[in-house]
Amino acid sequence: MLRGLYTAAAGLTTQQRRHDTITNNISNVNTPGYKQANEVTRSFPDMLMALTGTSDHSDKTIGRVATGVFAEESISLQVQGDLTESGRSGDFALSSSIQIPGVKFDGSGKGFTQDGEVVFQPQAFFTVEGSDGQPRYTRDGRFDLNAEGYLVTTGGERVLGANGQPVQFPAGASLNDVVLTSDFRFVDRLTGADTGSGLLLTRVNNPNLLVRQGNGTFRLEGDQSLAVPVTAGDGVEVRQGYYERSNVDSAQSMVDLMSALRAYEANQKVVQFYDKSLDKAVNEIGRV
């Protein structure tokens, strides 16, 4: 009897975590550069049930029994969000459409090679410096200049340039005075003179290995060779005066939210049923 109670309790925990993930997505529907998170669930290993100690001293196989489900991990949906014009010179939006020859990607960025191998669409990111000095990646291109002239994100992280060093402008400079070229260099808006600064854009070949770090940034988990500078042939464009909206599907999120709630209620009723059954076993049958 308790096995069913544990299975229902595992379902409660899983649906609660799924509910939390969806509500976090909805709360960030208007956050520039935010990437929707999807909860991945897995079942616990099945158990093979057998009847032992029979009169003929033989074991009889009953069958397999599932032992519940758990939320294994949360994966970000790293696909392109819509671009919105802001008119602000410090806003930059990435338009990324990196392709792999012979592979057709679906709406989630997943595809298959001719050999049937699963691959994910590479994505481009702005590169910033984390608090530990290690590179972080973001699609939130709302930048500004701090008091020292460094180009920084809304969270204060310094944006890295093509030379791998933080982008810095002279004291008193303004982003209204510069224009970003198609090869990601900053030039003077009036004269077209090269300022000597540019943006470092990074291509992450497996975006599913990115781990959220807060403030819209990610770090790459595992093989660092999967992160390489964007090249001219990658089909990546940066638009100044635009920002990328979150890729959260608000309508689907509301449907998923109701689905998680209903599943939670179903598991809750199972727990209540077992509670009543145990109450009868202890307080009524136990007194006979």
Q: What does the pLDDT look like over 139-166, one tens digit per residue?
A: 999 999 999 999 999 999 999 999 899 9
pTM for this model (two decimals) = 0.82
Which of the four pLDDT bands, split at 50, 70 and 90, describes residue 288? low
Q: How many domains does the chain have?
A: 2
Same domain, 68 and 128: no
What mean pLDDT is reported for the chain? 87
Same domain, 170 and 191: yes
Same domain, 152 and 238: yes
Which of the four pLDDT bands, split at 50, 70 and 90, describes residue 204? very high
**Residue 129, pLDDT score:** 94
Average pLDDT over residues 209-232: 89
Tell me: the pLDDT tens digits for 19-75? 999 999 999 999 999 999 988 877 776 666 666 666 665 667 767 766 777 777 788
Distance from C-alpha of 173 to C-alpha of 149, rounded to nearest angstrom: 7
**Residue 43, pLDDT score:** 75
Same domain, 256 and 234: no
Same domain, 25 and 166: no
Same domain, 27 and 153: no
Give the highest mean pLDDT range of 11-15, 118-122, 223-227, 242-246: 242-246
Same domain, 105 and 187: yes
pLDDT at 197 over 80: yes
Same domain, 102 and 192: yes
Same domain, 97 and 222: yes
Same domain, 267 and 231: no
62-76, 128-142, 213-227: range with lowest mean pLDDT: 62-76
Same domain, 93 and 231: yes
CB 238 within 8 A of CB 184: yes
**Residue 23, pLDDT score:** 94
Q: How many residues does the chain have?
A: 288
Which structural domain, as residue segments, surrounds residue 29? Answer: 2-76+249-287
Same domain, 64 and 203: no
